[in-house]
Amino acid sequence: AANWLFVQAADSVTVDGNKIVLKGVAPQTVMFTDRPERMTGDTTTAGFVKLWNDGKDSFQKDPPNATLSVTADGTTKAFVVELTDPSLSGDTLTYTYKVLGTEAPVSGQAASLFIDWWYAAPGRCVRGPYGGLHCGW
């Protein structure tokens, strides 16, 4: 078993109250593990949303920390948040968030969301032709 970290990229992000709305989100969520495993892979963003409630250590039971990186007013800024309640509609992905850092997130362009680890049970991923893993949930 491994502890997976996730990266989601989007064309833009809108912050509305306690919601982060990623627009133009990539259809694939990139994933990787800490050392010593050093595995990489991907899953569909829809599959990632489905795994939210999966397992004894699910994100539903213990919401993940995340860092939102966004370009706003020509400057790249990073915000630390806790994520809950993902919802995917087309290429729009919405999370409810709680601020963990010193600043609330802002809207902007070229958004990346770096999501803290999830414990994956064995047998959910297959090795791709170039060594990466492709996972389905």
Residues 6+ apart with CB under 8 A from 95: 19, 20, 22, 83, 84, 85, 86, 87
Mean pLDDT of the chain: 88
* Six token digits for residue 112: 């990346």
Peptide bond into 36 cis (omega under 30): yes
Helix (H, G, I), strand (E, B) or coil at 8: strand
The CATH T-level fold of domain 2-122 is Elongation Factor Tu (Ef-tu); domain 3 (2.40.30)
- Rounded CA-CA distance 109/22 in Å is 10
Q: What is the domain partition of the chain in residue ranges? A: 2-122
Over the stretch 51-92, which tens digit does the pLDDT of each residue have? 898 877 789 999 999 999 999 999 999 999 999 999 999 999
Q: Which of 9-18, 83-92, 104-113, 114-123 has the lowest mean pLDDT?
A: 114-123
Over the stretch 15-35, which tens digit does the pLDDT of each residue have? 999 999 999 999 999 988 888
Question: Measuring CA to CA, which residue among 9, 96, 105, 100 is closest to residue 59?
Answer: 96
- Rounded CA-CA distance 69/83 in Å is 14
